């Protein structure tokens, strides 16, 4: 079997779970890990035979994919902002929109010529936000908080893999009262309401951690309020607060921040045109 035939085999076998383009993309991710081929090389090598040991690996991966398990969990890793991260079902799979949030943080810090920063990532999960920020802001002190021991273990592994030092905190932000102060607080907290749950892909529902995804219909901004309250006490004057948000709750989140006296509140859309990110600042305390 050559690589073109193998790709076709993957797309046929996964047709019940993914559309054609998604299945092709999944195969490309698998080929990058098993054969170390990027898409261009995969195209050039399409007529070459797949080595038998590799074919065994491909078929084993395909069998797991057919159960509905996301490819990132099957492979145990994913790319985020150009860096490699270990992932498992204890942590969310990093999304492209979160890369946009990280880019906004880096742009904002650069625009202010800020250095020697103290940064906190709330609900760090895999550690993707914290690790990328530390990698690009090497003089910053980066802290990463999560309530889950399993998440913090994975995030710690990812810090080691990417050769950065992160200060990890095991805590629930709704109860945490640390004395540290920060120039930047950033968070991608749980924000999907139970009403939205039924609209989600079964792959996500069956495999990704619900603790990191869902909030009640009655108080969907519960984590945003807690983080904002923490920021009122622990964010330095003129410091930045960044959120990834529920696309349907942009106005509500902005109003909540106004009510708590944050200023320069900016709601930004992602590449798909959805309200997805907020940046604001904290005024000097009187």
Residue 204 lies in a domain: yes
Average pLDDT of span 113-126: 92
What residues pair up with 250 in beta bridges, in sequence order?
none
CATH number at residue 211: 3.40.50.150
Tell me the C-alpha to C-alpha distance, in Å, between residue 37 and each of 30, 44, 71. Answer: 9, 10, 16
Say if residue 132 is in the same domain as residue 53.
Answer: no
Over residues 121-175, the pLDDT tens digits come to: 999 999 999 999 999 999 999 999 999 999 999 999 999 999 999 999 999 999 9
Domain with 22, as residue range(s), is 3-67
Residue 275 lies in a domain: yes
Tell me the C-alpha to C-alpha distance, in Å, between residue 144 and each of 31, 131, 135, 148, 224. Answer: 32, 9, 14, 12, 16
Say if residue 96 is in the same domain as residue 229.
Answer: yes
Among 11, 32, 67, give the residue marking a domain's end.
67
Say if residue 154 is in the same domain as residue 61.
Answer: no
Say if residue 49 is in the same domain as residue 171.
Answer: no
Say if residue 91 is in the same domain as residue 164.
Answer: yes
Residue 76 lies in a domain: no
Say if residue 171 is in the same domain as residue 32.
Answer: no
For tokens 């039924």, the residue is 198
Give the pLDDT confidence score for residue 190 in this predicted structure. Answer: 77
Over residues 75-113, the pLDDT tens digits come to: 999 999 999 999 998 898 899 999 999 999 999 999 987
Say if residue 40 is in the same domain as residue 99.
Answer: no
Residue 73 lies in a domain: no
Give the pLDDT confidence score for residue 40 in this predicted structure. Answer: 86
How many percent of the chain have pLDDT more than 90? Answer: 76
Say if residue 13 is in the same domain as residue 140.
Answer: no
Specify the number of domains making up the chain: 2
Residue 259 lies in a domain: yes
Residue 240 lies in a domain: yes
**Contact status, residue 188 vs residue 124, Cβ threshold 8 Å:** no
Say if residue 130 is in the same domain as residue 225.
Answer: yes
How many percent of the chain have pLDDT more than 70? Answer: 91
Residue 77 lies in a domain: no
Band (283; pLDDT cuts 50, 70, 90): confident
Give the pLDDT confidence score for residue 27 in this predicted structure. Answer: 95
């Amino acid at each position: 079997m050559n690589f073109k035939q193998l790709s076709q085999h993957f797309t046929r076998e996964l047709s019940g779970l993914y559309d054609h383009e998604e299945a092709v993309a999944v195969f490309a991710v698998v080929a990058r890990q098993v054969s170390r081929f990027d898409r261009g090389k995969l195209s050039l090598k399409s007529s070459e035979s797949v080595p038998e040991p590799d074919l065994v690996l491909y078929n084993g991966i395909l069998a797991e994919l057919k159960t509905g398990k996301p490819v990132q969990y099957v492979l145990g890793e994913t790319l985020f902002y150009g860096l490699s991260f270990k992932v498992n079902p204890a942590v969310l799979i990093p999304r492209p929109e979160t890369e946009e949030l990280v880019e906004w943080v880096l742009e904002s810090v650069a625009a202010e010529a800020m250095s020697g920063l103290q940064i906190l990532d709330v609900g760090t999960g895999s550690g993707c936000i914290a690790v990328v920020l530390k990698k690009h802001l090497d003089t910053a002190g980066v802290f990463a908080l999560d309530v889950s021991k399993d998440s913090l273990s994975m995030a710690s592994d990812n810090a080691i893999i990417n050769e950065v030092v992160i200060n990890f905190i095991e805590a629930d932000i709704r109860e945490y009262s640390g004395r540290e102060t920060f120039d930047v607080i950033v968070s991608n907290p749980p924000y999907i309401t139970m009403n939205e749950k039924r609209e989600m892909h079964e792959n996500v529902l069956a495999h990704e951690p619900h603790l990191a995804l869902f909030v009640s219909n009655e108080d969907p901004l519960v984590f945003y309020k807690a983080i904002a309250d923490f920021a009122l006490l622990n964010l330095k004057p003129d410091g930045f607060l960044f959120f990834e948000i529920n696309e349907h709750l942009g106005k509500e989140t902005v109003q909540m921040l106004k009510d708590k006296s944050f200023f320069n509140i900016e709601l930004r859309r992602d590449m798909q045109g959805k309200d997805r990110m907020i940046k604001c600042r904290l005024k000097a305390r009187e």
